[in-house]
Structure formats: C-alpha cells, structure tokens
A = this chain, B = another copy of it.
Amino acid sequence: MTNAIFQMAELLARLPGIGQRTALRLTFHLLKAPEEYLQKLGEEIATLRERVCPCSECRNLSQGDPCEICSDDGRDDSVICIVESVPDLWAIENSGAFRGRYHVLHGMLSPLDGIGPGELKIDLLAARVAKSGTRELVVATRSSVEGEATAMLIRHVFEGRDVKISRIASGIPHGGELEYSDKMTLGRAFEGRREI
C-alpha cells in the first residue's frame, strides 16, 4: 500500500475517537486541503507543547505564565474554584457562572490508581490559600466517587483554617426529565433540596 498515506493514517488513528477508516478519510481530505492549511496545522501540532505551559499560580494551561485568568485584574480574589481539568475550567468559564480564580488539580484523588494528595499537588493549593486572602474554596469536581473523595480531601486539608469550603450542587440538570433520571441523581437532588 502507498506508504506515506498509510503512515499518515496510522498516526491519525492513534488519536481518541478516530478509527482506521476515519483516519484514512482524514488523510485523503488532507491530500486535497490547501497547502497553507497543512503547513499551519503541522507546525501548530509540532510546537503545541512549547507554546502551552502550566500556570505556576493555578496550574491552568495557557500561552503565558501567569495564565490569562490569573493575570486578569477584574476577578474576585476571595474565591477559588477547584477543578479536575482544564476542559472543566473552560466549561465553567464559558457558562459565565463564576468570576473568581481557579485551581486545576489535573486529576482526582484515586489511591487505587496511585493518585494521592502529592500527585494533585494539594500543598501548592494550600500555600496559595495561605498567602492570598482566599475566603472560599468551591470544589467543582464531578459527582463521582473520585470527585467526592477529592472534595473530602480538600475539606480535610483546610479544616480549622479560616476558609469556607463549598461544593457545587448535584441534581437534575436544567431541562432534564425526572422520569429518565438515574437513582443517584434523584437521590442527590433530594439531598440537596432547598427551602423556597
């Protein structure tokens, strides 16, 4: 088989969600794409790591250090939202639901997978909270065993310190059907009910 084409498809097929067929289809698409686009795409992929670095303050991934959020003066310094990953940070940013600072853990507590407080660099968060005037930590990890364990860890670490620890609400999603909600979600929704 044609080597360069096959080789390209093989590389693309290593990406998540891209099978052999899609990889070949993409390769043939690339063969017809403008030369300029190929050059740009190729270069950006090859240099992606150089251009993106972790923020030394919050561990967000960004083009500069400190990241765009940490260097933004218009944000609320008193609240830090703790997230599992950069995509989660982006999702929250895009929702406009939060205007404080962030802290990215790059994972969740999972002792069975060897991920403990050290791997999550909780000490970095603790130091940050100690030096800044943080009044609240909002734990926005997902509602799963690991997500809850991470929230518990953070509560434990900051116990007795003058900082409020909160957890984002878990329940029926906006517009979601009660009929098709799973038991856990319904359980959480009742547990988290509020007086109106």
Residue numbers of A with Cβ under 8 A of B are 1-5, 7-8, 11-12, 14-17, 22, 24-31, 35, 37-49, 51-52, 60-63, 67-68, 85-87, 90, 93
Are A87 and B28 closer than 8 Å at their CB atoms?
yes
Q: How many copies, total?
A: 2
Are A90 and B17 also in contact (CB < 8 A) when A41-B11, A42-B47, A63-B2 are? no
Docked complex Cα distance between A86 and B46 (Å): 28
Are A31 and B48 closer than 8 Å at their CB atoms?
yes
Docked complex Cα distance between A38 and B44 (Å): 9
Inter-chain contacts of A22 with B (CB < 8 A): 17
- Apart from A31-B48, A38-B45: 11 A-B pairs, beta carbons within 8 A: A1-B93, A2-B61, A4-B48, A7-B44, A16-B25, A25-B87, A28-B85, A30-B45, A31-B52, A35-B49, A38-B49
